[in-house]
């Protein structure tokens, strides 16, 4: 299953968080599909950033706005008059949430509530998909993947904020939006890699920064296991799920998006794959004791996306890492970011 260009052509889409890494990729893909995209977000907080390199503001109706401002944000949502809402705006980093817990809670929880409240009584909207994370589950470090009906929870402020988002979404869906005829779903995905991410405290961006400058990459928890996937994998899932919700609102609910369970891999293995493709890079391996608590083992059960939506991953881990590192290397050699992204999207659509 791939996104259907015939479905998306001419659809009015509100995309929050389009200045971020995943949001910029999604804005570009929606533009390619012919959607009319309105973007609401804060300005990107990294230099460089994919939003600027691709010139996403030329492809969308762009509005800078803080989703914590209920009045300004609500006005922007209603003025966009969307048929489809894709909510990616968030404080997305675990370690940043330890430094700024209140900002994380207000952005992720209240920002989501502000969006949902703005949709109340908005006749244009038919589908709202809100993106949370694979970290919404109460992690018991058990040796099997989490399913959509497993208990929500968290320890760090980021995980807790996203678990709370799931409850807020369910409340608005059951109390208001389902009766209004809006199909509301959440998508849980994480550990996304791909070209164009320069966020702090993320594995591949940290590696690229270190190796490009000739420094040594320091890895805190080399044995931590995560469900790594290329950014186009969950984005394809979001688009396909939205299409299905349009015609079958009864499919509303929570969905996991991730690789095959066997593809859940240690940080060490991902770094070694990245270093092999990149061709250079020194690494120092920590013993897992540095920094605040982070889960040691996390994987997602994606049977629901596979059986209900017909989705399965296209790119295995080695291919995902290879494409990611080649993206950064070619950018450093002078290639244009948009051409690189367009090339990866085209290859994904073609099944290459």
Nearest 5°: CA angle at 74, between 70 and 77?
145
Contact predicate 51/25, CB 8 Å: no
Tell me the pLDDT band of 297, cut-offs 50, 70 and 90: confident
pLDDT tens digits for 23-48? 999 999 999 999 999 999 999 999 99
Mean pLDDT, the chain, whole residue set: 95
Q: How far apart are CA 189 and CA 237, in angstroms?
A: 10
pLDDT tens digits for 128-144? 999 999 999 999 888 88
Parallel/antiparallel/unpaired status of strands 127-131 and 183-188:
parallel
Helix axes 337-350, 317-332, angle to 10 degrees: 160
* Cβ count near 100 (within 10 Å): 14
Query: What pLDDT does 287 receive?
Result: 84
Our measurement of the distance from residue 12's CA atom to the centroid of its chain's CA atoms, rounded to an integer in Å, reads 21
Query: What pLDDT does 155 receive?
Result: 92
Q: What DSSP character marks residue 43?
A: P
Contact predicate 336/279, CB 8 Å: no
Average pLDDT over residues 108-137: 97
Query: What pLDDT does 157 receive?
Result: 97
Contact predicate 1/311, CB 8 Å: yes
Task: Give Cβ neighbours of residue 228 (< 8 Å, ≥ 6 apart).
Answer: 191, 192, 193, 259, 263, 264, 265, 270, 317, 320, 321
Q: How far apart are CA 172 and CA 144, in angstroms?
A: 31
Query: What pLDDT does 257 receive?
Result: 97
pLDDT at 324 over 90: yes
Average pLDDT over residues 194-206: 95
Least Cα distance to 13 among 30, 1, 28, 29 occurs for: 30
Tell me the pLDDT band of 118, cut-offs 50, 70 and 90: very high
Contact predicate 288/223, CB 8 Å: yes
Query: What pLDDT does 198 receive?
Result: 96
Strand partners, 63: 40
Tell me the CA end-to-end span of the chain in Å, nearest whole number.
14
Q: For the chain, what is the largest distance between any 2 Cα atoms, rounded to a whole number of angstroms?
A: 57
pLDDT at 1 over 90: no
Parallel/antiparallel/unpaired status of strands 282-285 and 225-226:
unpaired
Contact predicate 7/35, CB 8 Å: no
Query: What pLDDT does 343 receive?
Result: 98
pLDDT at 228 over 90: yes
Question: Which domains are delineated in the chain?
Answer: 5-350 (3.40.50.720)
Q: What DSSP character marks residue 253?
A: S
Out of 137-146, 163-172, 246-255, which region has the weakest mean confidence (pLDDT)? Answer: 137-146
pTM of the model as a whole = 0.96
pLDDT tens digits for 44-94? 999 999 999 999 999 999 999 999 999 999 999 999 999 999 999 999 999
pLDDT at 294 over 80: no
Query: What pLDDT does 33 receive?
Result: 98
pLDDT at 258 over 90: yes
């Amino acid at each position: 299953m791939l996104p259907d260009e015939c479905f998306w052509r001419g659809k009015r889409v509100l995309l929050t968080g389009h200045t971020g890494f995943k949001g910029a990729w999604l804005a570009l893909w929606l533009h390619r599909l012919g959607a009319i995209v309105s973007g609401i977000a804060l300005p990107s907080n990294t230099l460089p950033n994919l939003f600027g390199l691709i010139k996403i503001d030329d492809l969308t109706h762009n509005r800078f706005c803080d989703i914590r401002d209920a009045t300004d944000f609500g006005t922007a949502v209603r003025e966009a008059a969307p048929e489809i809402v894709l909510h990616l705006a968030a404080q997305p980093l675990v370690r940043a949430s330890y430094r700024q817990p209140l900002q994380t809670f207000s952005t992720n929880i209240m920002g989501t509530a502000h969006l949902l409240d703005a949709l109340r009584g908005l006749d244009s909207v038919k589908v709202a998909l809100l993106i949370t994370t694979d970290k919404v589950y109460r992690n018991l470090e058990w040796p099997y993947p989490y399913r959509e009906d497993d208990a929500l929870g968290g320890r760090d402020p980021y995980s807790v904020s996203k678990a709370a988002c799931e409850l807020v979404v369910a409340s608005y869906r059951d109390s208001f939006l389902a009766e209004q005829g809006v199909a509301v779903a959440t998508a849980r995905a994480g550990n996304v890699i791909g070209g164009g991410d320069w966020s702090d405290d993320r594995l591949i961006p940290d590696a690229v920064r270190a190796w490009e400058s000739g420094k040594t990459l320091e890895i805190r928890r080399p044995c931590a296991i995560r469900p790594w996937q290329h950014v186009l994998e969950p984005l394809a899932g979001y688009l396909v799920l939205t299409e299905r919700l349009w015609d079958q609102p009864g499919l509303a609910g929570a969905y996991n998006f991730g690789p095959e369970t066997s593809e859940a891999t240690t940080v060490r293995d991902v770094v070694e794959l990245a270093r092999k493709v990149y061709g250079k890079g020194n690494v120092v391996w920590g013993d897992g004791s540095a920094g605040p608590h982070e889960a040691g083992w996390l994987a997602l059960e994606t049977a629901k996306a596979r059986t209900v939506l017909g989705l399965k991953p296209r790119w295995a881990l080695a291919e995902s890492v290879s494409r990611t590192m080649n993206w950064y290397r070619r950018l450093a050699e002078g290639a244009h970011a948009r051409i690189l992204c367009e090339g990866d999207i085209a290859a994904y659509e073609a099944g290459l």
